[in-house]
């Protein structure tokens, strides 16, 4: 398998207006969703495809109400970089699984009840 580093590269640019930024964000979101099966297969993830797609949606929804255009441009650029790194297999499995840490690692969920934490041996 030959990896072409510039295959998925996109030039960094500023959006002209909110419509342009919205269009670019939707294109990035669709590219991620289309590539979800390939990501699961390439990294041999032990996570269902539906969970990967839900996590992609959740990550995009986190930044849905950004109000500044330069911030939206920066987020779109970061999304494109992550996409390129992920599909070119430049990441390792822990880099991908960090997005599923709460769902996968029961120790990541800390109870607010002191007695439960004490009995489980947590500080």
Burial 12-49 (b: 16+ CB within 10 A, else e): eeebeeeeebeebbeebbeebeebbeebbeebebebee
Owner of token pair 């580093």 = 5
Query: How confident is the model at residue 8, as a pLDDT?
Result: 76
Instruction: Tell me what the pLDDT averaged over the chain comes to.
Output: 87
Residue 32 lies inside a defined structural domain of this protein = yes
In a domain, 8, yes or no: no
**6 is a domain residue:** no
Find the mean pLDDT for residues 106-110.
Answer: 61
Judged by DSSP in three states, 90 sits in: coil
Q: What is the pLDDT of residues 34-56, one digit of tens each?
A: 999 999 999 999 999 999 999 99
Q: Is residue 47 part of a domain?
A: yes
| Residue 51, domain member (yes or no) | yes
Question: Rounded to an integer, what distance in angstroms lies between the CA atom of residue 20 and that of residue 25?
Answer: 9
Is 9 within the bounds of a domain? no
Determine the pLDDT at residue 4.
72
Distance CA 108, CA 106 (A): 5
pLDDT digits (tens, 9 = 90+) for 75-88: 999 999 999 999 98
Domain hosting 63: range is 18-120
- Structural domain includes residue 78: yes
Provide the pLDDT for residue 119: 78
C-alpha–C-alpha distance, residues 49 and 42, integer Å: 12
Is 90 exceeded by the pLDDT of residue 112? no
The total number of structural domains that make up the chain: 1
| 106 found inside a domain | yes
* Distance (Å, whole) CA 8 – CA 117: 46
């Amino acid at each position: 398998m030959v990896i072409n580093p510039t295959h998925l590269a996109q030039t960094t640019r500023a959006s002209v207006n909110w419509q342009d930024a919205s269009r670019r964000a939707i294109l990035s979101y669709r590219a991620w969703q289309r590539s979800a099966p390939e990501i699961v297969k390439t990294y041999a993830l032990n996570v269902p495809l539906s969970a990967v797609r839900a996590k992609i949606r959740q990550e995009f929804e986190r930044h849905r109400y950004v109000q500044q255009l330069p911030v939206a441009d920066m987020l779109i650029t970061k999304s494109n970089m992550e996409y390129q790194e992920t599909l070119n297999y430049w990441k390792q499995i822990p880099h991908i699984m960090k997005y599923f840490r709460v769902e996968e690692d029961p120790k990541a969920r800390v109870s607010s009840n002191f007695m439960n934490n004490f009995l489980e041996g947590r500080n």
